[in-house]
Chain A
């Protein structure tokens, strides 16, 4: 529930707490699985009391819950008209209300409410027709009012669920779908930012972010590993981006994750949990949680206890460290926000006739206009194109890749099942290698479609196509056909020329020919490869095979 607060003095603690050798290794393969055979092992043993000698006998089960703060994509802040913009000059987007000047009052931004309702609907939540705002008090330099306006008692949406897929199995080739329950979604204000200048022992405050609307999505502890948590967060991120309710860019702090982590033996009560705060990178999300799970297991197996504390992930050292909280347990002294009447939402049935429609939020109206969610899009992709479910996952995971794929399919005669290979193997690999987004790709969907059409028509071989693709990647503005012409990559159509080349290769490799004639058919592939090399991929492998077989049997 807490707004993300940067605490001072992590730096000094890092050196002491994190030794590089500290990162533990999974101690048995069952660690990640949820209580498969509950009660069969480790019955009667209390979590935390496991003697070190019995290590490996009792499996540990981890329990992970998440609190995710998503910045609402809106032109203005939650309760003021100030603009919202990333990386604007410090304190340039601060209204009198944001700076908490005496006498200023909050006025709720309708767009933020709509974003929360949209998100709630997409996460199968019950939308509360009446929700309330509360003040949560704590003193901090980047919280000018001394309290944050949030929804503690009655949030805007409750009781939802989120399904997400992840790859399991040794080769990660098996897709499974899991579900995490959504406890609630609440609207609240973001805090400002504190910048600590230790050398001058100064704290500088930037209030640009103060008062920006957040949706806090609370996920029940239904996950059991960093990987699951990461997959759930990724799915949430996709949903938010699809809805447009948040841009959810982690690098810009628009999606911030706090994880509650505990471990216990199957069949026993949950262990003491810690909160890992401010995990602001998708890359480190799984790692931070897994580190914390292992740390707790290690503590318990060494006869130590896990403390109920807040920890921060130190991405430089790959470990979690306790956050210094001088005040100890805070009492936030929650109080109803007296300046905001209850937030009342309507559906078509309850909408009063005389109400100004500009001033009310109609849940049904929003529901009718929800875009296709990622899960629906994936099913549609599989149905429409006959691709595999994991292909559909991959297509959606990269922003714009699905549209790219669809455009290519639309412009080629090639079977989508073949197109998907080009998209996911060639195209995506190149993008990853060069750290580019789909939008930044030098190969447009039209160019790729042209290329694939050449391939499909039999004008070039697939290895030639790869060469053309490589050329296209240079972004020199040439069409695939131009490249094919320039590099003379067309398949050899002249039967006679073909026969000659094959003959030459056979003559040059008498040993292989002998082998084949003895019945070792595998060597034939070598000969085909050699012909390909000679023609620099211009030979149709099917044709080559036919000719070689004909000649070998002569």
Chain B
């Protein structure tokens, strides 16, 4: 039951095959059973059950609010949720209970969705592994999949089995793990440089980063205001389209959202690919791209070509400057955005209070991890009067060039770009932490952050399993505000590749607390 798509479960609810409360309870107990994944920071059991009950009442009266009524969802813990702790996985906000809902959260609730809890992330969404938050790393459900385990056994090292668990990617790793392990039907992430698409790719699910300005950021605790976009994580493209339809639209509380009304759409299956023009950016043949991913990428291109689409190699000449430019802009905005965390109005406050300045310094020293403090320091450096021209202004100019690259390509007739999402499949935690957060972020955001710099919509679609039995996703980048076209292409692709479902049966109980009763109920 939990493994079906959002669309299917919605139908089941409408037909009365399952009730919202039943569904909510199942999800909640499954969250508990998969606690070792560390996907959730807060489980909002009480409010979730209450919401489910209310939903059930609506179903009884035949007055449901929308397609999401009664559907369990999860939200990354950097979105404000009224009355529910919102931490950003940081000591700075540990215990912080916001008084208001982020606009996207409110929109989900207004549609009758049931909020199960808040998902894990890197502290303040700064990272690409979901390993650097105060609540510990998130484990990739694929670590426990039959597909991966079978290959591991072939490659021996059974004694290292348990220490070999894999990272989810990040920073929305909790949301990706939650959707991938069937504890909810959709989750919100945030995407600043790839934070939704990266973990979605590593967890074998769909991750959508909409156009900047299409979805309200009000209530999303910012990383980089000029690039942040609420992301959508689902198990299939259709589900992403449904959630997008709920979230999109102007919000007077976010002046950067566009005024044009958004028409939600249902994806049609196109049959004629011949009018389609797919661009393959040559600069994405980056060093470090695994041969496996490269092969899949080119197979995907062939797939389109064989279906009659035009597949053209294109150039985005400024791609190589993108990641360093992103670094300057990101840290600068981070330095600014983090200035409000001073221990006065909310959040952590140090007990050192000899003077206001001492209190500020101690609060921020205690409240932020090294990654956050490092970015604040470099950002402040870039913003200094003597450096501003050389770094910030220059980075902004480069950003404009990068955005123009995309404009030129789309202007030349390309509908959608096809690229890898990540360099390779995911790696074990013990491998990942051999490099620091900064290095990892620079590597892992390589294919994703350019879409944020340009504000374009992008989606990762799970494509195939690697030799190790792990998911590999490919990314489609579309024209601004052309989500319908982008998702239509993604859906067609999804249908062709027939990505295998994660097989957790019989694996999850290994050394963990899934009871046989529950397990058989969920994975039959």
User: Which A residues have a C-beta under 8 Å from some C-beta of B?
Assistant: 96, 99-108, 135, 137, 139, 141, 144-147, 203, 205, 326, 331, 333-335, 338-341
Chain A residues with Cβ below 8 Å from B345 are: 99-101, 144
Contact A105 B385 (CB under 8 A): no
Q: Which of B98, B255, B342, B356 contacts A108 (CB 8 A)?
A: B255
Q: Report the separation of the CA atoms of residues A341 and B225 in the bound assembly, to the nearest whole angstrom.
A: 12
B336: Cβ under 8 A from any A Cβ:
yes
Chain B residues with Cβ below 8 Å from A341 are: 255-256
**With A135-B336, A341-B256 as given contacts, are A101 and B226 in contact (CB-CB < 8 Å)?**
no
Q: Report the separation of the CA atoms of residues A339 and B345 in the bound assembly, to the nearest whole angstrom.
A: 21
Q: Which of B217, B340, B380 contacts A100 (CB 8 A)?
A: B340
Within 8 A of A (CB), among B418-460: none
Q: Which of A144, A333, A339 contacts B380 (CB 8 A)?
A: A333
Q: Which of A103, A108, A341 has the most CB of B within 10 A?
A: A103
Known A101-B100, A135-B336, A141-B344; 19 more pairs at CB < 8 Å? A99-B346, A100-B340, A101-B346, A102-B341, A103-B98, A103-B218, A105-B217, A106-B255, A137-B383, A144-B345, A146-B336, A146-B342, A147-B336, A203-B356, A333-B335, A333-B383, A335-B392, A338-B226, A339-B256
Contact A102 B93 (CB under 8 A): yes
Closest Cβ of chain A to B101, distance in Å, is 10
Contact A146 B339 (CB under 8 A): yes
Closest Cβ of chain A to B218, distance in Å, is 5
Can you list 27 A-B contacts with CB-CB less than 8 angstroms, sorted by A residue number? A96-B100, A101-B98, A101-B99, A101-B345, A101-B346, A102-B346, A103-B80, A103-B98, A104-B218, A104-B219, A105-B217, A107-B252, A139-B339, A144-B342, A144-B344, A144-B345, A145-B339, A146-B338, A146-B339, A146-B342, A147-B336, A147-B339, A333-B380, A334-B383, A335-B333, A338-B225, A341-B256
Within 8 A of A (CB), among B351-380: 356-357, 360, 380
Contact A338 B333 (CB under 8 A): yes
Within 8 A of A (CB), among B211-233: 217-222, 224-226
Q: Report the separation of the CA atoms of residues A106 and B254 in the bound assembly, to the nearest whole angstrom.
A: 7
Q: Report the separation of the CA atoms of residues A146 and B256 in the bound assembly, to the nearest whole angstrom.
A: 22
Q: Report the separation of the CA atoms of residues A339 and B253 in the bound assembly, to the nearest whole angstrom.
A: 10
Chain A residues with Cβ below 8 Å from B217 are: 105
Within 8 A of A (CB), among B192-242: 217-222, 224-226
Contact B80 A340 (CB under 8 A): no
Closest Cβ of chain B to A360, distance in Å, is 12
Within 8 A of A (CB), among B378-411: 380, 383-385, 388, 392
Chain B residues with Cβ below 8 Å from A333 are: 335-336, 380, 383-385, 388
Q: Report the separation of the CA atoms of residues A145 and B380 in the bound assembly, to the nearest whole angstrom.
A: 15
B463: Cβ under 8 A from any A Cβ:
no
Contact B383 A335 (CB under 8 A): yes
Chain B residues with Cβ below 8 Å from A340 are: 255-256
Closest Cβ of chain B to A148, distance in Å, is 11
Looking at chain B, what size class is its interface with the partner chain? 35 or more
Contact B356 A137 (CB under 8 A): no
Chain A residues with Cβ below 8 Å from B388 are: 333-334
User: Which B residues have a C-beta under 8 Å from some C-beta of A?
Assistant: 79-80, 86, 88, 93, 96, 98-100, 102, 217-222, 224-226, 252-256, 332-333, 335-336, 338-342, 344-346, 356-357, 360, 380, 383-385, 388, 392
Q: Report the separation of the CA atoms of residues A100 and B338 in the bound assembly, to the nearest whole angstrom.
A: 11
Closest Cβ of chain B to A105, distance in Å, is 5
Closest Cβ of chain A to B230, distance in Å, is 11
Q: Which of A101, A139, A203, A339 contacts B360 (CB 8 A)?
A: A139
**With A101-B346, A103-B219, A135-B336 as given contacts, are A331 and B255 in contact (CB-CB < 8 Å)?**
no
Chain A residues with Cβ below 8 Å from B341 are: 102
Nearest CB to that of A135 among chain B residues? B336
**With A147-B336, A331-B384, A339-B256 as given contacts, are A105 and B218 in contact (CB-CB < 8 Å)?**
yes
Closest Cβ of chain A to B468, distance in Å, is 39
Contact B336 A335 (CB under 8 A): yes
Q: Report the separation of the CA atoms of residues A326 and B356 in the bound assembly, to the nearest whole angstrom.
A: 13
Q: Report the separation of the CA atoms of residues A338 and B336 in the bound assembly, to the nearest whole angstrom.
A: 11
Contact B225 A339 (CB under 8 A): yes
Q: Report the separation of the CA atoms of residues A368 and B392 in the bound assembly, to the nearest whole angstrom.
A: 42
Contact A102 B256 (CB under 8 A): no
Q: Report the separation of the CA atoms of residues A58 and B376 in the bound assembly, to the nearest whole angstrom.
A: 53
Nearest CB to that of B227 among chain A residues? A338
State the majority secondary structure of interface residues on B.
Answer: loop
Closest Cβ of chain B to A102, distance in Å, is 4
Q: Which of B255, B256, B356 contacts A141 (CB 8 A)?
A: B356
Closest Cβ of chain B to A177, distance in Å, is 40
Closest Cβ of chain A to B330, distance in Å, is 12
Nearest CB to that of B79 among chain A residues? A103
Q: Which of B96, B253, B380, B388 has the most CB of A within 10 A?
A: B253
Nearest CB to that of B225 among chain A residues? A338
Nearest CB to that of A140 among chain B residues? B356
Q: Report the separation of the CA atoms of residues A338 and B254 in the bound assembly, to the nearest whole angstrom.
A: 11
Chain B residues with Cβ below 8 Å from A102 are: 80, 86, 88, 93, 96, 98, 221-222, 340-341, 346
Chain A residues with Cβ below 8 Å from B256 are: 338-341
Closest Cβ of chain B to A195, distance in Å, is 13
Nearest CB to that of A94 among chain B residues? B345
Chain B residues with Cβ below 8 Å from A135 are: 336
Q: Which of A146, A205, A331, A334 contacts B340 (CB 8 A)?
A: A146
Closest Cβ of chain A to B151, distance in Å, is 42
Chain A residues with Cβ below 8 Å from B79 are: 103
Chain A residues with Cβ below 8 Å from B254 are: 105, 107, 339
Closest Cβ of chain B to A249, distance in Å, is 29
Q: Report the separation of the CA atoms of residues A340 and B345 in the bound assembly, to the nearest whole angstrom.
A: 24
Chain B residues with Cβ below 8 Å from A146 are: 336, 338-340, 342
Nearest CB to that of B333 among chain A residues? A338
Closest Cβ of chain A to B228, distance in Å, is 9
Chain B residues with Cβ below 8 Å from A334 are: 383, 388
Q: Report the separation of the CA atoms of residues A139 and B340 in the bound assembly, to the nearest whole angstrom.
A: 9
Which 3 A-B residue pairings sit nearest by Cβ, starting from the closest? A146-B339, A333-B383, A338-B225
Contact A205 B344 (CB under 8 A): yes
Chain A residues with Cβ below 8 Å from B342 are: 139, 144, 146
Contact A103 B221 (CB under 8 A): yes
Contact B253 A105 (CB under 8 A): yes
Closest Cβ of chain A to B275, distance in Å, is 31
Contact B222 A103 (CB under 8 A): yes
Q: Report the separation of the CA atoms of residues A105 and B357 in the bound assembly, to the nearest whole angstrom.
A: 26
Q: Report the separation of the CA atoms of residues A338 and B356 in the bound assembly, to the nearest whole angstrom.
A: 28
Q: Report the separation of the CA atoms of residues A99 and B98 in the bound assembly, to the nearest whole angstrom.
A: 12
Q: Report the separation of the CA atoms of residues A99 and B99 in the bound assembly, to the nearest whole angstrom.
A: 12
Chain A residues with Cβ below 8 Å from B220 are: 103
Q: Report the separation of the CA atoms of residues A341 and B226 in the bound assembly, to the nearest whole angstrom.
A: 10
Contact B339 A137 (CB under 8 A): yes
Q: Report the separation of the CA atoms of residues A80 and B138 in the bound assembly, to the nearest whole angstrom.
A: 38
Nearest CB to that of B347 among chain A residues? A102
**With A96-B99, A102-B80, A334-B383 as given contacts, are A145 and B340 in contact (CB-CB < 8 Å)?**
yes
**With A101-B346, A137-B339 as given contacts, are A335 and B98 in contact (CB-CB < 8 Å)?**
no
Chain A residues with Cβ below 8 Å from B335 are: 333
Closest Cβ of chain B to A333, distance in Å, is 4
Chain B residues with Cβ below 8 Å from A137 are: 336, 339, 383
Nearest CB to that of A332 among chain B residues? B385
Q: Report the separation of the CA atoms of residues A145 and B344 in the bound assembly, to the nearest whole angstrom.
A: 10
Q: Report the separation of the CA atoms of residues A339 and B337 in the bound assembly, to the nearest whole angstrom.
A: 11
Q: Report the separation of the CA atoms of residues A135 and B225 in the bound assembly, to the nearest whole angstrom.
A: 13
Q: Which of A331, A335, A339 contacts B332 (CB 8 A)?
A: A335
Closest Cβ of chain A to B421, distance in Å, is 26
Q: Report the separation of the CA atoms of residues A118 and B220 in the bound assembly, to the nearest whole angstrom.
A: 36
Q: Report the separation of the CA atoms of residues A96 and B339 in the bound assembly, to the nearest whole angstrom.
A: 16
**With A96-B100, A102-B93, A335-B332 as given contacts, are A107 and B383 in contact (CB-CB < 8 Å)?**
no
Closest Cβ of chain A to B223, distance in Å, is 11
Chain B residues with Cβ below 8 Å from A203 are: 356
Q: Report the separation of the CA atoms of residues A340 and B100 in the bound assembly, to the nearest whole angstrom.
A: 21
Nearest CB to that of A79 among chain B residues? B255
Q: Report the separation of the CA atoms of residues A203 and B340 in the bound assembly, to the nearest whole angstrom.
A: 18
